[in-house]
Chains A and B, each alone.
Chain A
Amino acid sequence: MRYLKVLSVGLLAVSLSTCSGVLTNNASGSGKGDGKSLTLYSVSGPEVTDPILAEFKKSHPDIVVTKIALPGTGEAFARVRAEKDRPLGDVIWGGSSEIYSSNADLLAAAELPNDAATAAKDPKHIWHATDLLFQAIAVNTEKFPDESKHPKTFEDLVRPGWAGGKIAFATPKSSGTSYSLLTTMVTLHDWDYVTKFAANARMLDGSTAMFNLVKDGEVGTSFINEDLGAKWVAAGVKLKLIYPADGVSSQIGSAGIIKGAKNEAAAKTFVDFLMSKEAQQVMVDKVQRRSSRTDVTAPLGLPPVEQLKRAEIDETWAAGDKDEILDKFDAAVKSAR
Chain B
Amino acid sequence: MTVTEAPPRPGRTAAVKAARSRSWRDPWRLAALFALLILLIFIVYPQLWIVRSAFTSDDGAFTLARFVAFVGDDTFTTPLVHSVVVSVAVGIGAALIAVPFAFVMARYRIPGREGILTMLTMATTSPPFLGAYAWLLLLGSGGIITKGAKEAGIPLPFDTILGVGGIIWVGVWFTFALIFLMVYDAFRAVDPALEEAAASVGSRPLRTHWKLTLPLAVPAIATGLYLASMRIFADFGTPMLIGGGFQMLPVVVYQNFLSEVQTSTGTAAAASVMMVLVSAAALVVQRRIVSRRSFAVTGSKVQPLRELRPVPRAFVLAGIWITLLISFVPHIVVVGTSFLRWQSGILQWEPTMENYSTLLADSLQPIVLSFVFAGIACLLALVMGVVVAYIVARKKFRISAPLLNNLVMVPYILPGTVFAIGFILAFNHLPVILTGTALILVVAYFIRRLPYVMKSIETALGQVHPSLEEAAMSVGAAPRRSFRDIVIPIIRPAVISGGTVGFLQMITELSATVMLYAVPWVTMTVVIFTNAMQPGSPFGVASAMTTVLMVSIYIPLYLLRRKYRTLSF
Residues of A within 8 A of B (CB): 1, 4, 7-8, 11, 14-15, 18-19, 22-23, 26-30, 39, 44-48, 66-75, 77-79, 82-83, 85-86, 88, 95, 99, 142-143, 171-176, 179, 202-206, 208-209, 211-213, 215-218, 227-228, 231-232, 234-237, 322-323, 326, 330
Contact A95 B260 (CB under 8 A): yes
Q: Which residues of B contact A48 (CB under 8 A)?
A: 534
29 A-B pairs within 8 Å (CB atoms) are namely A4-B484, A19-B439, A39-B518, A39-B519, A45-B532, A45-B538, A48-B534, A72-B258, A73-B260, A74-B258, A75-B258, A75-B515, A77-B260, A78-B515, A79-B424, A83-B424, A86-B429, A99-B261, A172-B261, A174-B260, A206-B255, A209-B240, A209-B244, A216-B141, A218-B140, A228-B536, A235-B346, A236-B346, A237-B346
CB distance from A90 to the nearest CB of B (A): 13
**Once bound together, how far apart are the Cα atoms of A203 and B240, in whole Å?**
12
Contact A47 B417 (CB under 8 A): no
Contact B519 A28 (CB under 8 A): yes
Query: Which one of A68, A83, A205, A208 lies within 8 Å of B243 (CB-CB)?
Result: A205
Contact B425 A27 (CB under 8 A): no
Query: Which one of A67, A176, A212, A323 lies within 8 Å of B535 (CB-CB)?
Result: A212
**Once bound together, how far apart are the Cα atoms of A323 and B242, in whole Å?**
29
Q: Which residues of A contact B437 (CB under 8 A)?
A: 22-23, 26-27, 29
**Once bound together, how far apart are the Cα atoms of A176 and B259, in whole Å?**
9
Contact A234 B344 (CB under 8 A): yes
- Given A217-B141, A218-B142, the answer on whether A228 and B243 have CB atoms closer than 8 Å is no
CB distance from A116 to the nearest CB of B (A): 28
Interface string of B369-388 (1 = CB under 8 A from A): 00000001001100100000
Query: Does B466 interact with chain A (Cβ within 8 Å)?
Result: no
Query: Which one of A8, A47, A218 lies within 8 Å of B244 (CB-CB)?
Result: A218
CB distance from B376 to the nearest CB of A (A): 6
Contact A216 B140 (CB under 8 A): yes
Contact B140 A235 (CB under 8 A): no
CB distance from A159 to the nearest CB of B (A): 24
Contact A78 B421 (CB under 8 A): yes
CB distance from A150 to the nearest CB of B (A): 19
Query: Which one of B244, B439, B518 lies within 8 Å of A88 (CB-CB)?
Result: B518
Contact B255 A174 (CB under 8 A): yes
Interface string of B123-165 (1 = CB under 8 A from A): 0000000000000100011110000000000000000101000
CB distance from A158 to the nearest CB of B (A): 20
**Once bound together, how far apart are the Cα atoms of A75 and B417, in whole Å?**
8
CB distance from A109 to the nearest CB of B (A): 21
CB distance from B511 to the nearest CB of A (A): 8
Query: Does B63 interact with chain A (Cβ within 8 Å)?
Result: no
Contact residues on B (Cβ < 8 Å of other chain), bracket: 35 or more
Contact B518 A44 (CB under 8 A): no
**Once bound together, how far apart are the Cα atoms of A237 and B141, in whole Å?**
14
- Given A46-B538, A211-B535, A232-B344, the answer on whether A174 and B261 have CB atoms closer than 8 Å is yes
**Once bound together, how far apart are the Cα atoms of A330 and B264, in whole Å?**
15
Contact A23 B260 (CB under 8 A): no
- Given A23-B437, A45-B537, A218-B140, the answer on whether A82 and B262 have CB atoms closer than 8 Å is no
Contact B259 A74 (CB under 8 A): yes
Contact A46 B262 (CB under 8 A): no
Q: 5 tightest CB-CB pairs across the interface, nearest first?
A: A29-B436, A174-B259, A45-B537, A82-B424, A231-B344
Q: Which residues of A contact B2 (CB under 8 A)?
A: none
Query: Does B348 interact with chain A (Cβ within 8 Å)?
Result: yes
Q: Which residues of A contact B424 (CB under 8 A)?
A: 79, 82-83
**Once bound together, how far apart are the Cα atoms of A82 and B429, in whole Å?**
11
Q: Which residues of B contact A88 (CB under 8 A)?
A: 428, 435-436, 518
- Given A72-B260, A322-B261, the answer on whether A28 and B244 have CB atoms closer than 8 Å is no
**Once bound together, how far apart are the Cα atoms of A179 and B259, in whole Å?**
12
- With both beta carbons as reference points, the residue of chain A lying nearest to B437 in the complex is identified as A22
Query: Which one of B140, B383, B514, B521 lies within 8 Å of A11 (CB-CB)?
Result: B383
**Once bound together, how far apart are the Cα atoms of A11 and B384, in whole Å?**
12
Contact A175 B261 (CB under 8 A): yes
Query: Does B67 interact with chain A (Cβ within 8 Å)?
Result: no
Contact B518 A18 (CB under 8 A): no
- With both beta carbons as reference points, the residue of chain B lying nearest to A79 in the complex is identified as B515
Query: Does B182 interact with chain A (Cβ within 8 Å)?
Result: no
Contact B255 A235 (CB under 8 A): no
Contact A47 B344 (CB under 8 A): yes
Q: Which residues of B contact A78 (CB under 8 A)?
A: 257-258, 263, 417, 421, 515
Query: Which one of A68, A72, A206, A228 lies within 8 Å of B519 (CB-CB)?
Result: A68
**Once bound together, how far apart are the Cα atoms of A114 and B79, in whole Å?**
47
Query: Does B368 interact with chain A (Cβ within 8 Å)?
Result: no
Q: Which residues of B contact A237 (CB under 8 A)?
A: 346
Query: Does B433 interact with chain A (Cβ within 8 Å)?
Result: yes
Q: Which residues of B contact A83 (CB under 8 A)?
A: 424, 428, 435
Contact A27 B518 (CB under 8 A): yes
Contact B530 A46 (CB under 8 A): yes
CB distance from B259 to the nearest CB of A (A): 4
- Given A173-B261, A174-B260, the answer on whether A236 and B348 have CB atoms closer than 8 Å is yes
Contact A176 B537 (CB under 8 A): no
Query: Which one of A4, A11, A82, A232 lies within 8 Å of B421 (CB-CB)?
Result: A82
Instruction: Kindly identify, within residues 240 to 273 of chain B, every residue whose CB is under 8 Å from any CB belonging to chain A.
Output: 240-241, 243-245, 247, 251, 255, 257-263
Q: Which residues of B contact A171 (CB under 8 A)?
A: 255
- Given A174-B260, A206-B240, the answer on whether A71 and B438 have CB atoms closer than 8 Å is no
Q: Which residues of B contact A227 (CB under 8 A)?
A: 536
Query: Does B442 interact with chain A (Cβ within 8 Å)?
Result: yes
Query: Does B480 interact with chain A (Cβ within 8 Å)?
Result: yes
Contact B439 A22 (CB under 8 A): yes
Query: Does B319 interact with chain A (Cβ within 8 Å)?
Result: no
Q: Which residues of B contact A217 (CB under 8 A)?
A: 141-142
**Once bound together, how far apart are the Cα atoms of A26 and B260, in whole Å?**
29
Q: Which residues of A contact B346 (CB under 8 A)?
A: 215, 232, 235-237
- With both beta carbons as reference points, the residue of chain A lying nearest to B438 in the complex is identified as A22
Contact A69 B514 (CB under 8 A): yes
